[in-house]
Amino acid sequence: MSLPSWFTLRADDSFQLGPRLFPGRIWTASGCFSYGLSGHEMKTSQGGSPYSGLGAVVTKTVTPQPRSGNPMPRLCELPNGAINSIGLENVGLDAFLENVLPRLEELAVPTVVSLAATVPEEFGLMSQRLQEVAAGFKHWHGVEVNLSCPNVAEGGHDFGRDPETVASCVALTRAQLPDRALLVKLTPNVADIASLAAAAGQAGADAVSAINTVVGLDVDLSTGRPVLPRRFGGYSGPGVLPIALAKVDEIVNKAKVPVVGVGGISTAEEAMKFFALGAVAVQVGTAQMRDPFTAADIARQLS
């Protein structure tokens, strides 16, 4: 592809974010590449893999205890994206630390661990356990605190809407992670996202990830009922791109906190729009579920 003259970044160059040097600026978004263990056997005709050129894989969100997730169906594709209500289905922190993170280290996957909890104190405790188990890991770069999942009744939807709560979660996590990057994933379902980003930065976050999914609903006309059993879900994909760009621009200009842009990216051109607004990196989400080579292809094209 032909790059515009203003674009001077190299997506596959390392860059500093907080205390960590990340190997690139194109990441995969949480929940969209599972835990980062799948796809290592896949190769293109040129020998590339879904991990080629990636700066980080943000894992599926991990909670203190295992979660079975919400009732099926959990995902419905739409013309301009998808709506999901996964419910943070995951193996739980103990199994993740025993079986998943060590394997990611063996495979040299640059990893950011996504964490979710229902009270601020749990973020500190989970981060402490992470640090105890993986302090010597070379490829574990940091944590993304998920304060914005719209699919968990006990905390998720409103958990990241209050600047004081955001600051508390960040401060407790930061205290346990002196040498790892700390990011905060923010909800777009608020009137003032910049105040949340500013609170995160003041409490010790190295960056914020913006945005998570937009609350949405779709209807099955054969039944006249919402397509998801829980009615509402998180809408993602191409349809949220303009919303994500607007929120990133707001944070960059008002909060002065580094931003990792996410939302609707499926091409190199769309990733460049986030960089044009000042994002330091981007995450590829829904498109990565459709084609696991998407993020790697974007990294290749931009470099």
How far from 30 is each of 33, 55, 145, 222, CA to CA, in Å? 7, 14, 11, 32
What DSSP letter does each residue of 6-62 carry, written as one string? T----TTS-EEETTEEES-SEEEPTTSSTTS-TTTT---TTS--TTTT-SEEEPPPB
Catalytic residue among 32, 76, 149, 169: 149
Pairing assessment for the beta strands 281-284 and 259-262 based on DSSP bridges: parallel
Range list of β-strands (E), 116-187:
140-146, 181-185
Strand, helix or coil for residue 123? helix
Q: Can you name the residues that pair with 208 across neighbouring β-strands? A: 184, 259
Told to judge if 149 belongs to the known catalytic residues of this protein, a careful annotator would answer yes
Token pair recorded at residue 289: 């579920």
Residue with tokens 């996590």: 173
Task: Kindly list the catalytic residues.
Answer: 149
